[in-house]
Amino acid sequence: MPALPPDGAARTPVDVAVGVLIERDAAGRDGRFLLTSRPEGKVYAGHWEFPGGKLEAGETVEQALRRELREEIGIEVRQVEPWRVEIVDYPHARVRLHFCKVHRWSGEFQMLEGQAMAWQALPVEVAPVLPGTLPVLQWLAEERGHAGPTHRS
């Protein structure tokens, strides 16, 4: 009988679309970015993350991102820029995170799932941050030439 693959390798990743909403200053430079807290009742409740969620059957990353941000924070995304893809192994799931930058959206923010929102710069002040979010803070730090911690430990 063939040996079973180790646990992590056996788990097919779940695709997740994640939006990194970024404000631009008057000179067009990237400024603060939006974090939201995970609502009660979800795994990692209270942890801060970039808003998003799992792709539904047949959806593209962009379609899922538009739907999730409409459902969770009440905005219409106007433009999506695919950025990086990262696989993270959690005890509860293996996820493939499709991080997209979003610079243009419309509508008023509404926290439709009882979350909190916070516009943040580096280092991030809200805590705790979801583990899967930490690489993104590192990428933003590299892009922005930010030295030192990216978040509170």
Ligand X SMILES: Nc1nc2c([nH]c(=O)n2[C@@H]2O[C@H](COP(=O)(O)OP(=O)(O)OP(=O)(O)O)[C@@H](O)[C@H]2O)c(=O)[nH]1
Which residues lie near ligand X (CB under 6 A)? 16, 18, 42, 44, 49-54, 88, 90, 93, 95, 97, 130, 132-133
Closest approach, Cβ 2 to ligand X, in A, equals: 30
Given a contact cutoff of 8 angstroms between Cβ atoms, the answer to whether 24 and 42 are in contact is no
Closest approach, Cβ 43 to ligand X, in A, equals: 6
Whose Cβ is closer to ligand X: residue 43's or residue 121's?
43
What 3-state DSSP class applies to 46? coil
Determine the residue with CB nearest ligand X. Answer: 132
Whose Cβ is closer to ligand X: residue 9's or residue 93's?
93
Closest approach, Cβ 10 to ligand X, in A, equals: 18
The whole-angstrom separation of Cα 133 and Cα 144 is 17
Whose Cβ is closer to ligand X: residue 12's or residue 25's?
12
The whole-angstrom separation of Cα 68 and Cα 75 is 9
> Beta partners for 151?
124
Percentages (nearest 5) of helix, strand, coil residues in the chain: 20, 40, 40
Whose Cβ is closer to ligand X: residue 77's or residue 97's?
97
Closest approach, Cβ 79 to ligand X, in A, equals: 19
Whose Cβ is closer to ligand X: residue 23's or residue 40's?
40
Given a contact cutoff of 8 angstroms between Cβ atoms, the answer to whether 39 and 113 are in contact is yes
Least Cα distance to 81 among 69, 97, 67, 98 occurs for 98
Closest approach, Cβ 128 to ligand X, in A, equals: 13
